[in-house]
Amino acid sequence: MKKITTLSGIVLASLMNAQAQYCMPTFQYGADSNMISHVTFGNINNSSPVQSGNAQVYENFTSMSTDLQSGSNYNISVTGPSSTFPSDVVVFIDFNQNGNFDDAGESFYIGRLEAANPANAFTINNTITIPATAANGSTRMRVLKNTNVQAYSNPAAPNSISSACDSSLRAGQTEDYSVNIIGQTANFPAPYCGTENITSLTVSEISTVEFAGVVRNSAFDGNSDVLENFTATVFNVNRGNTYPITVTGGTHGQDTVSAYAYIDFNHNNQFDADEQFNLGYLDNSNPVSGQQSGVTTGNITIPVGAQLGETRFRLVKAYESNSWMGALKNLPCPSGWFIGQAEDYTLNIQPESLSTSEVSKEASANVKIYPNPTTNSVTIKMKEGLEKYEIYNLSGQKLLEGNSLTVSMDSFVPGTYLIKIQTKNQKLITEKIIKK
């Protein structure tokens, strides 16, 4: 019995020490009527008490855990009441397992909950990307919620949470969970071809893919694999519809860096000649600060005869050349002398359903652009924060980009243009603008 007691004491002390290494935020007015009531993330699906009068500012749910694959995206939803003022929600994950949440890339702004009582609490949803460099093993995840007084009268008020251990919070709650980071899938990319036929290699990275309402960012630091496994990221599409796709990545100052999409529509575990899309050459415009990088935008049409369900989507960015090095081509299975990178995703093909215009209407319900038609400029009005906008002509050429809510079109000739809006929580919305 003494040995059991001693062992129990050691375990308890260990748990207390593990808890102690993570500092705690401070709330001025506690958690009553401003608590977190539900969190869903991976296999975590946790409801917590919402009774006023005894709600604690900190709840320890580290016994709950979910597996997360490095380099993949995961949806998260957070529910909670917000009393009089809206509430901000930020999630922190200690990816390098150093006992704090202070490092770059370890915080995610999930969004803002509108004011509501516990019985009518709202839910916000967002996506968290697990870095390919995250350390394997179990680590801490923190969900932090705080009321934002400024947001009561100013929907564009900045996030009220400065850190995982903010000492100037007003009212809210902190919940801690555990997550287990696992590496890339061992048998990837089977049953598809990999990099086995490459004889000479220079990795030139893809940094961003925007497709079917999803924005997928990946490492752009020169340390990535030539073939990256992002198959946990799923693009949902409908047969018969056409979807724009934008690819950003390194060009190394070259103007013949191409992007191709390869999709196994017939599910035969290979990329056939009629399953490829030429997305064009990256424009060498250096959209990534301090990097020689470019952007290209193309379209992918899902055939009406495509087999339904999930299949492999491969994106290849490659330097093309005919020189002393030989013929360098963009191929679905990189081989020979290869300069570029490939990323694999999952495409979920659904039956003919909403048209792309109907999808756009649904997604843009909370965005207004006025005046439209316009003679000089338009204003973007939206509930969610603006990350950036891009203006395209009907041929798909990008003409302008920025992050201001006022867009000047003085230099544009009369006609119809497309504005693509990216929100702070990575949603994509496309609308038409008519210049008179």
Q: Are residues 328 and 372 in the same domain?
A: no
Contact 226, 205 (CB under 8 A): no
Task: Identify whether 192 is part of a domain.
Answer: no
Which of 150, 182, 214 is a domain's end point?
Answer: 182
Clarify whether residues 29 and 113 are in a common domain: yes
Of 350, 366, 388, the residue that ends a domain is 350
CB of 202 within 8 A of CB of 313?
no
346 with 360, same domain? no
CB 258 within 8 A of CB 204: no
- pLDDT mean values, one per 10 residues, the chain (436 residues): 31 38 91 92 90 84 89 89 94 95 95 91 92 89 97 94 95 95 76 91 95 89 90 90 94 94 94 95 92 94 90 97 82 94 95 51 69 91 86 73 90 83 80 84
Domain closes at, from 182, 213, 229: 182
114 and 232 in a common domain? no
Structural domain includes residue 215: yes
CATH code of residue 64: 2.70.50.30
Please indicate, yes or no, whether residues 215 and 331 belong to a single structural domain of this protein: yes
Sequence-separated contacts (24+) of 217-226 with Cβ below 8 Å? 217/129, 218/71, 218/132, 218/343, 219/131, 219/132, 219/133, 220/249, 220/250, 220/288, 220/291, 220/293, 223/133, 224/132, 224/341, 225/132, 226/195, 226/198, 226/201, 226/334, 226/338, 226/340, 226/341, 226/342
Same domain assignment for residues 325 and 384: no
User: Is 145 found in the same domain as 84?
Assistant: yes
Asked whether residue 240 is domain-assigned, the answer is yes
Domain ranges, residue 174: 18-182
Residue 314 corresponds to which tokens in the numbers above?
């491969």
CATH number at residue 258: 2.60.40.1930
Domain containing residue 400: CATH number: 2.60.40.3080
Same-domain check for residues 136 and 29:
yes
C-beta separation of 46 from 63 below 8 A: no
Evaluate whether residue 189 is within a structural domain: no
Residues 264 and 344 in one domain: yes
Structural domain total, the chain:
3
Distance (Å, rounded) from C-alpha 101 to C-alpha 142? 9
Answer yes or no: do 169 and 216 share one domain.
Answer: no
Residue at 85: amino acid letter? F
Residue 152, phi then psi, degrees to nearest 5: -60, -40
Same domain, 143 and 287: no
Q: Is residue 11 part of a domain?
A: no
Residue at 42 is within a domain:
yes
Closest Cα partner for 279 from 348, 210, 369?
210
Residue at 246 is within a domain: yes
CA–CA dist 307, 305 (Å, integer): 6
- Residue 4 confidence (pLDDT): 30
Residues 252 and 297 in one domain: yes
With beta carbons less than 8 A apart as the criterion, state whether 352 and 304 touch. yes
Residue 401 lies inside a defined structural domain of this protein: yes
